[in-house]
A = this chain, B = another copy of it.
């Protein structure tokens, strides 16, 4: 799978926090009933069809519980599997598998769900055009690093990761400046002056004239918010004509669904952002069949 893995330290912290929250090392049932030396194994079963995602994450969950656990698989993240597929085998101390099971499942079900939905959106968008489907910052608090990874595994792309790696001027920022009698061009100039030259300046607009003002004032990316496909097509067409705007990007956003994304893509926008990829992807039904070895 040709995508960057979740950053190692972020992943490690997510897993540690989750195990701590569940007090996995205080698992009274397993500590009472399963001797540390009893061997175990478990099968990861996809009960729904979807995109495999989170194999390494699951392995690291179990390895934080016991470094004697191993996870093996003939699949890799990004593979499509049908319902009923046994995707991986876990072997190691039974007690450790049982104590880590819930955290592992809670994470990979969510990841596989996001990857599966991302793929669906990407494939639908491709029917309409070549726009890049991107996620948003509407991720689960604390889990962004793995949810962004799942988006990539599903074939979609990531928007800015944090509030630092990109300027995104929204209606609120513009309104705030207006109160101080700074117009849109002034806002963009101020952002340029006070941000690193390594980040682009993206401006949210609501109609064609505002888009025109943004481009004129030097916006690098124009976010067309809640505009109709016709309106978006008109804006894109207008600006593509001028070679000086060749590098300006147009992003569509606002309530885009699996049903509408192809039409949006057909307008010629460069990017389509979908909060749904992370905030509304249903968990995939995955189970762990654990047993003594």
Contacts and interface: CB of A to CB of B under 8 A. Distances in A.
Interface string A193-228: 111111110100000000000000010110000000
B173 A33 contact: yes
A199 B40 contact: no
B26 A191 contact: no
Interface in A1-21: 3-5, 7-10, 14, 17-21
Contacts of A167: 28-29, 32, 198
A34 interface: yes
A137 interface: yes
A197 B134 contact: yes
Contact of A195 (B25, B28, B195, B221): B28
A43 interface: no
Nearest to A187: B33
Nearest to A172: B290
Nearest to A134: B197
B21 A144 contact: yes
A280 B134 CA distance: 23
Contact of A163 (B10, B29, B179, B180): B29
B292 A179 contact: yes
B9 A191 contact: no
Contact of A160 (B109, B176, B180, B196): B196
A195 B249 CA distance: 14
Given A142-B21, A172-B98, A28 B163 contact: yes
A164 B161 contact: yes
A20 B14 contact: no
A289 to B, nearest CB: 9
A168 interface: yes
Interface of A: 3-5, 7-10, 14, 17-36, 38, 40, 94, 98-99, 102-103, 105-107, 109-110, 132, 134, 137-145, 157-170, 172-173, 175-177, 179-180, 187, 190-191, 193-200, 202, 218, 220-221, 243-244, 246-247, 249, 251, 270-271, 279-280, 282-283, 290-292
17 contacts: A4-B194, A18-B141, A22-B137, A22-B144, A23-B163, A23-B164, A26-B162, A26-B164, A32-B191, A33-B190, A40-B176, A105-B138, A106-B141, A134-B196, A166-B196, A243-B244, A247-B247
